[in-house]
Amino acid sequence: MQSELNQQLSRLRGLDLSSRSGREMAKRCIPRIDRQLDRLFNVGLLEQRIYTGKVINEMRHEPYDSNQVLQAALGVGCGGIGLVAWNCFDYWIYENSDAPLEVSVSHTSFDQCSPEIKELLLPHVVPLVLDSCDLIRS
C-alpha cells in the first residue's frame, strides 16, 4: 500500500515538473512568436485576422444556463496567441455555416488568460501556430 502511494506521488511530481517546464517554455516562446507576427503585420505581409484552432473548453454558467466556448486562437495584428470566447449558439452557427461568415469575437492574449486557462491552452499552441502558418502560406 505504501509503495503504491509512493508511486502515485512520484507520478504527480513528474506531472507537476512537466507542467512547470511547459509554462516556462511558453513564457519564453509565446512572446517571441507574438512579436514576429506583429512585425509581419506591421510591414504588410500579413492581414489583420484571427485564426482559430481547437475548442479548449466549454463552460456552463449559472443562473442563465448559457454556454461559453473557449477556442484557441492566433490573432494577427490583434494580440497574438490566445483564445476567443464564443456564446455557444454563435459558435454553433459559425461552425455549421456553409458560407464564410464575418463574425465579431473578442480575442484574449495568452498573457491575459488566467493560469487555469493557460494550462488548457498550452497543448494547443504548437498545432495552432503550424496550422496558421499553412493557412498564411496559401
* Of the candidates 51, 49, 111, 109, the residue with the CA atom closest to the CA atom of residue 82: 109
12: left (phi > 0), else alpha (psi -120 to 50), else beta?
alpha
User: CA 28 to CA 118: how far, in whole Å?
Assistant: 14
What is the band of 94 on the pLDDT scale with cuts at 50, 70, 90?
confident
Query: What is the spatial distance between Cα 34 and Cα 80, in angstroms, rounded to a whole number?
Result: 5
* Signed CA dihedral, 62, 107, 112, 92: sign only: positive
Section 88-115 average pLDDT: 80
Range of the domain at 87: 2-137
pLDDT in tens, 4-19: 656 665 665 555 545 6
Distance CA 118, CA 135 (A): 24
| Count of domains forming the chain | 1
Q: How crowded is residue 8: how many other Cβ atoms within 10 Å of its Cβ?
A: 10
Give the pLDDT confidence of 44-90 residue by residue, as tens digits: 888 888 888 888 877 655 444 456 888 999 988 888 999 998 888 78
Between residues 68 and 38, the one the model is more confident about? 38
Confidence of residue 98 (pLDDT cuts 50, 70, 90): confident
Burial 70-95 (b: 16+ CB within 10 A, else e): bbbbbbbebbbbbbbbbeeeebeeee
